[in-house]
């Protein structure tokens, strides 16, 4: 049987990811491997490789494939890192990170999404991801420090606890700005400060929590 999703995945990587300038071979390879269609609701599986974010329930989304690839590339993973993700959502970004790093700790505030993501990781025999249900803006002090941190929801600024929990020289990638429009930020920890590089405009769902936005 021809795997139609494998073909769609290759098309996605060629036309949306390589075409737009993603060059890290490890990122390209893993985007071709992880079955994105298994991370979206069954009734929209055929849309999984489209060039856009998709709804996953509870008012939340799985990010556009290119944005997942870009954020992953910006993290500069070599394979031995301990990574913290805020905003598990569907679990797709965590599954991508798990292939490229040593371990992934991912936090989701919506419990059913966290449980659903855990089931996906089990189904795909991904063993180096740990899922937490709590306010991700406070990080995971008991697991710190982290080599890399990725926030996959829009934040007014990088939450202070996350800066504290990032290793010296570590990288944090996050959409930073207004509640409904942000810039992708790549920041490197230098002492107590972050060296900041703002990249492209993006639009993520808000990060809700103590150091994020208030629930509306
Ligand atoms: N990384 C996800 C994926 O691969 O599907 C997409 C994440 S979605 C754009 C943002 C997620 O952040 C939502 O699932 C939302 O519930 C979650 N979120 C928002 N505020 C949060 C917080 N304070 N702590 C943890 N998760 C949060």
Summarize pLDDT for 3-36 with one digit per residue, the tens. Answer: 899 999 999 999 999 999 999 999 999 999 999 9
pLDDT for the residue 70: 98
Dist. CA 149–CA 59, nearest whole Å: 24
Question: Residue 2 pLDDT more than 80?
Answer: no
Annotated catalytic, 63? yes
Q: Is the pLDDT of residue 205 over 80?
A: yes
Q: Where are the alpha helices (DSSP H) in 86-165?
A: 92-100, 111-123, 160-164
Phi, psi of 84 (to 5 degrees): -110, 125
What is the ipTM score, two decimals? 0.99
Asked if 164 and 144 touch (Cβ cutoff 8 Å), the reply is: yes
Q: What CATH number is given for 4-202 in this structure? A: 3.40.50.150
Ligand 1 atom nearest residue 113's Cα: 14
Q: Where are the domains positioned within the chain?
A: 4-202
Per-residue pLDDT, 75: 98
Assess whether the C-beta atom of 155 lies below 6 angstroms from ligand 1: no
Pairing of strands 129-133, 103-108: parallel
Q: How far away, in angstroms, is 153 Cα from ligand 1 center?
A: 5
Centre of ligand 1 to C-alpha 151, Å, is 8
Report the percentage of the chain scoring pLDDT > 70.
Answer: 99
Q: pLDDT tens digits for 135-166?
A: 999 999 999 999 999 999 999 999 999 999 99
Q: How far is the CA of 161 from the centre of ligand 1 (A)?
A: 17
DSSP state of 214: P
Ligand 1: atom nearest CA of 136 is 24
Predicted local confidence at residue 216, as pLDDT: 85
Which distant-in-sequence residues (6+ apart) come within 8 Å of 75 by Cβ? 81, 83, 97, 148, 150, 171, 173
Q: Whose C-alpha lies nearest to ligand 1, atom 17?
A: 87
């Amino acid at each position: 049987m021809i795997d139609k999703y494998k073909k769609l995945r290759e098309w996605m990587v060629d036309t949306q990811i390589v075409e737009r300038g993603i060059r890290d071979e490890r990122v390209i390879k893993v985007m071709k491997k992880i079955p994105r269609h298994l991370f979206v609701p069954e009734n929209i599986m055929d849309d999984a490789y489209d060039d856009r974010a998709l709804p996953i329930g509870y008012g939340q989304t799985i990010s556009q494939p290119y944005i997942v690839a870009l954020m992953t590339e910006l993290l500069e993973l070599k394979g031995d890192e301990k990574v913290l993700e805020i905003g598990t959502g569907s679990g797709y970004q965590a599954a991508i990170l798990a292939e490229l790093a040593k371990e992934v700790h991912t936090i989701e505030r919506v419990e059913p999404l966290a449980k659903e993501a855990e089931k996906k990781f089990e189904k795909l025999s991904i063993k180096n991801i740990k899922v937490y249900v709590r306010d991700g803006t406070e990080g995971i002090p008991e697991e710190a420090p982290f080599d890399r941190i990725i926030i996959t929801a829009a934040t007014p600024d990088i939450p202070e606890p996350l800066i504290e929990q990032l290793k010296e020289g570590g990288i944090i990638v996050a959409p930073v700005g207004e509640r409904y429009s942000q810039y992708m930020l790549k920041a490197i920890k230098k002492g107590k400060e972050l060296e900041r590089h703002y990249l492209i405009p993006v639009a993520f769902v808000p990060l809700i929590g103590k150091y994020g936005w208030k629930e509306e």
